[in-house]
Amino acid sequence: MFETFDSILSDIARRLSLGASERDCALHTPVIATADADARVMVLRAFDAERWTLRLHTDARSPKCAVIGSGAPVGLLGYDREAKVQLRLRGTGRIETDTPLADAAWEESTNFAKRCYLGEGPGAASDAPTSGLPVWADGINPSDEQIMPARANFAILLIELEQLDWFYLANSGHIRAQFARVGDDWEGRWVAP
């Protein structure tokens, strides 16, 4: 089943593609870690299989945006419990706010999703439990006009993958493979679990 590097690379690409397109997929909400050892669950929005690039959405005011900036190490951890496959991926992340790709990501989002960027920035203190949204926006699907101010707070996180670690937990014996990017290709090696 997973006896060649090509079959494992195909499995990784398939999982990332499904994670970006299917809400119920285990890789839809991976853990993303930044160089400051902070980790959080994020939603995988897109996977470019040709460039091995991931896209996630974030608030431009988030501390991770300052850590990542125009280029910094980022890690991804995903686990498919049913398939018993763990992915640990590393790459270089960058934050984009005013680019054609960020504009396209904003346009493809629903107004209900866009409203998340209307409120106070991530980590803003509150005297009571809060969604951070303005009271008028809580639980509604805002109009295009109402949502316009949120665009200034929207950003995308792009991660260009450089290292892949694929780990299959099997009763008959675990299997682990690692890949490093060499130009446009991947160089694989088998490693002990």
pTM for the whole thing? 0.94
| pLDDT by 10s per residue, the chain, length 193 | 678 999 999 999 999 999 999 999 999 999 999 999 999 999 999 999 999 999 999 999 999 999 999 999 999 999 999 999 999 999 999 999 999 999 999 999 999 999 999 988 898 898 999 888 888 888 889 999 999 999 999 999 999 999 999 999 988 889 999 999 999 999 999 999 9
Q: What is the DSSP string of the chain?
A: ---SHHHHHHHHHHHHHHHHH-TTSGGGS-EEEETTS-EEE--EEEEETTTTEEEEEEETTSHHHHHHTTSEEEEEEEEETTTTEEEEEEEEEEEESSSHHHHHHHHHS-HHHHGGGTSSPTT---SS---SS-GGGTTS---HHHHGGGGGGEEEEEEEEEEEEEEE--TT--EEEEEEEETTEEEEEE---
Domains within the chain, CATH numbers bracketed = 5-102+154-190 (2.30.110.10)
